[in-house]
Chain A
Amino acid sequence: MDCKEQEIKEGIKLHIIKTDKFKTNLMAVFLTTKLTRENVTKNALISMLLRRGSKNMKTQEEISKNMEEMYGAIFDCGLDKTGDNQVLKFYVESINDNYLPEHKENILEESARNLLEIVFNPYIENEGFKEEYVEQEKQNVKHRIEGKIDNKARYANERCVEEMFKDEPFGLYKFGYIEDLKELDGKELYKYYKELINTCKIDIFISGDLKEDDENLIINDENIKKLKERKPEYEKPKLPEENKEKEENIITESMEVTQGKLVLGLDVNIKNDEQKYIVLLYNSILGGSANSKLFQNVREKAHLAYVASSSYLRYKNVIFINSGIEISNYEKALKLIREQIEEMKEGKFSEQDIEDSKKGIVSAIKTIYDEQDTAIMYYFGQELSGSNVSVEDYIKKMENIKKEEILDIAKNVKINTIYFLKD
């Protein structure tokens, strides 16, 4: 399964993934723009507003009815922070004609038309978004921002990110800030929307059991034809600056929790993009699987936690360690976690550990094509970082990594922030 790319206009790309593995066709539009303090809240609000209505489907109810009529096509949107970019994501997933109880020819066509219209032809009154919608969606954004405390583990992680990237775009909260909401109105937001649509990077994905000319559903769409070419403004992933000697930032905060949430943010110093594959492997050995040092030592041997894991954020080249512990065990758990990071530096992991981790990663890579959205995100990741690595090459790179290379990474890992949420 390959991804065929086609530049519709400069800055606007169509990605076509032909596959007959699924019962559904999935279409996605991603708008990528720089993450900035100035625009972060506006982008969040725009992504919510576009769901409210388009020129020909003036209300949410109409959009929903249209989707339901198409055997429950699902329209969904999301907002991502991808490195130093904010990505507004819009999806329509509809059932492929082959699996409908009665034959209906036009579901894919209708899905494409609807999706493109929602994103590129919003409902406008008096040169602006409808004020009533704006007011309601402001409340919605406010609710999302305030809602970040509801999942305590995620909140702790979010706080660690904020602290670690205090003066950088990545430290911004993806739904923005309540204080920004007040001044925004329908006219100003529409002005901003036009600017966004004219300057952002646009990627359109279409995945499914497609016919020869199905890409024309996108290319010949009226809303796409109207778009201008652009030199899109977005950030490619950068390599980290040389780690300066800085002290660990230790933060403890209180909230109503029964379990303490401990999060560590680690910097990883690498010299080139190729090393990212090695960091992925390093992370797997440290805390990426049930065989990892964190899971084995913090959970299985010391019984301090149910969750003890780490994850690698490729775009920012940082690792986060997460665990939920008895509040009184903070010192004990932290010491044990530090020991695991130290042991990695000392090379206390076996060839077997490396082999096992490689198998886990390779297996995960092989499943990319078996999940429609995962495949789209894989190609989008490549698109953003300007790389072009096939799954086969990816696997080869992984398999060729040597212990010395992992050790080299381990030595360049440093704790940046320790965040603890307690009662």
Chain B
Amino acid sequence: MQIIDNLKIKEKLYIEKLENGLTVMIVPKAKMQKKYMIWGTNYGSNDNKFIAPGEEEITEVPKGVAHFLEHKMFEQENGTNSLDTLTALGVNANAYTTNDHTAYLFECTDNFYEAMDELMDYVQHPYFTDENVEKEKGIIGQEIRMYDDYPEWRVYLNAMEAMYHSNPIKIDITGTIESISKIDKDILYKCYNTFYHPSNMAMVIVGDFKPEEMLEEVKKRLIKKEPCGEIKRIYEEEPEEIVKEKIEQKLEVSEPLYTIGIKDKIITNKKELVKKDLCIGILLNLILGRSSNLYKKLYQEGIIYGQPSLDYEFGNTYSHILITGQSSNPEKVYEEFIKQVEEFKEKGINEEDFNRIKKMIYGSYAREYNDVQDIARMFLSDYFKGICSFDYLEEIEGININSINQMLKDVFKRDKMVLSIVKN
């Protein structure tokens, strides 16, 4: 196995790509009782149109299939449900779907290998029937309704709607009640067979283990699969322009919720991803972090009550900044934000502030290594983006104020900004 040793945070990553194409990552955590295993496929709600390996024709599936598939993977041919089996072992099992990946996981203290048997068995053995697919529509229907009542989810999706013309990032991960009604077992099998090949998957295991031994345990449980060709994912061309600057929805909330979005160009050079992510993190904190002038001003004027969340999201086909919070006057927050950005562009960033925020960002990555779950999820989701999580700790030192000032000009463009509001 390849060993990547990080001397700053004093953790090691053991990584190996197996013959069948599966990438296995192991982070040993001595002394921890908690153990975590996660197995993901590079397949999420964005992958609705594709050409399966060995085929010529395009397959297009209803919205929400990746998430539906996640729910149905637990069903077993012998009538049992793997979630029940895992729960009965006393482990905490779950699964989730994002835009670009789906993951199956458990956390435990005891019965790790029994749980590993079950997890690896069910992910490799789908069992869909007309009946079990139909029944899930009721449950997922309620999950969709639950999200309908979350204003923070609405304000997020609307921001996507305002930024993207055709990129599937703007569709709900769960799909809609209408779109999931069209899902049947054949569609599920088709997507499973296309995307759940080991070469499209990665696994992370974190806990008090010997990595080489653990790798053998993984190999033992893998069923043989023929190598498969490339999956062609089809995304419609996305213009660089936004769709519209402002979008509003009515919902019963105490104060309006807002998301300021900035649509950004997609980076194709993976090496630049980490640097860009770090730079944007630093910039967002300089503009609207707790110690920023703008935060102080908006707080004192009673326009905001707490620090907005500051995020940069990116994948192979999308890239954007999101600033989300609650405010009595979102328009004003937006206006002041734009003003501050322009002022920084003109005058440049203050060096002392930059150095301080840079230190703070180092700390925010360092504390990610406290918990086995955070470590496992971080390595998996970064892996699907083509990133090794350790790179954040290594790259930050080299970030200088010039690159920050340049990034501000390149990314924080006035004509790429949108404002999404949810209010009464």
A binding-site residues for B, Cβ under 8 Å: 20-24, 59-61, 64-65, 67-73, 93-95, 98-101, 132, 136, 139-140, 143-144, 146-153, 255-259, 289-291, 296, 299-300, 303-307, 324-326, 352, 356, 358-360, 362-364, 366-367, 369-372
Contact = CB atoms under 8 A, between A and B. Distances in A.
A71 B366 contact: yes
Contacts of A69: 356, 359
A22 B109 contact: no
A20 B31 contact: yes
B371 A370 contact: yes
Contacts of B81: 300
Nearest to B250: A256
Contacts of B33: 366-367, 369-370
Contacts of B88: 291, 352, 356, 359
B1 interface: no
Contacts of A304: 138, 142
Given A299-B139, A306-B143, A24 B370 contact: yes
Contacts, number: 183
A138 to B, nearest CB: 10
6 contacts: A67-B360, A71-B359, A143-B254, A150-B151, A362-B109, A372-B370
B367 A95 contact: yes
A362 B302 CA distance: 47
Interface in B21-62: 31-34
Given A93-B367, A291-B84, A370-B34, A65 B149 contact: no
Contacts of A60: 290, 296, 299
Among B135, B252, B289, B291, chain A packs the most CB atoms within 10 A around the CB of B291
A64 B290 contact: yes
B299 A255 contact: no
Interface stretch (B90-98, B237-245, B313-321): B90-98
B218 interface: no
Contacts of B129: none
Given A22-B370, A23-B370, A324 B360 contact: no
Contact of B140 (A140, A306, A366): A306
A305 B290 contact: no
Contacts of B108: 363
A259 B252 contact: no
A291 B366 contact: no
Given A139-B302, A356-B88, 7 more contacts: A24-B370, A67-B290, A143-B326, A147-B255, A326-B141, A367-B34, A369-B33
A99 B9 contact: yes
A361 to B, nearest CB: 8
A217 to B, nearest CB: 20
The residue among A143, A326, A358, A366 with the most chain B CB atoms within 10 A of its own CB is A143
B299 A362 contact: no
A356 B90 contact: yes
A101 B252 contact: no
Contacts of B10: 98-99
A139 B151 CA distance: 22
